[in-house]
Structure 1
Amino acid sequence: MGYNVNVDVDKCIGCGECVDVCPVEVYEIKDGKSEAVSPEECLGCESCVEVCEVSAIAIEEN
């Protein structure tokens, strides 16, 4: 089972909290915004969703 990782770049403020909290390094900050560079590694723990102050991240099961 995999997960779709979606970052709404219009909402993202580039704080990097998702980068810091993700246990499998799904995210990187690129051009001042978070980007899911390794979405296939996502465990579906939703730590990134919980820590995102602006609700810019959504995780869905494939």
Structure 2
Amino acid sequence: MGWNVTVDHDKCTGDGECVDVCPVEVYELQDGKAAVVNEEECLGCESCVEVCESDAITIEEV
């Protein structure tokens, strides 16, 4: 069991809230947008989804 994490770069404002709130460093900012760099570490807690004001993050169980 794992998690599929996606960021809609058209919606992402690059405020970095997801980077700051993620307990396992799934994201980092690249070119002013959030990028998924450690998807395999995702716990599925959805903290990032909750803080993303632009609704740019989707997490699905796989």
**Matches of 2:60 and 2:52, distance apart in 1:** 16
In structure 1, what is the equivalent of residue 41 of structure 2? 41
In structure 1, what is the equivalent of residue 56 of structure 2? 56
- Structure 1 regions of 5+ residues with no counterpart? none
- Structure 2 regions of 5+ residues with no counterpart? none
TM-aligned CA deviation for residue 60 of structure 1: 0.1
| Identity among equivalent pairs (%) | 74
Q: Secondary structure at the match of 2:50?
A: helix
TM-aligned CA deviation for residue 11 of structure 1: 0.1
The size of the alignment, in residue pairs, is: 62
| TM-score relative to the length of structure 2 | 0.99
In structure 2, what is the equivalent of residue 6 of structure 1? 6
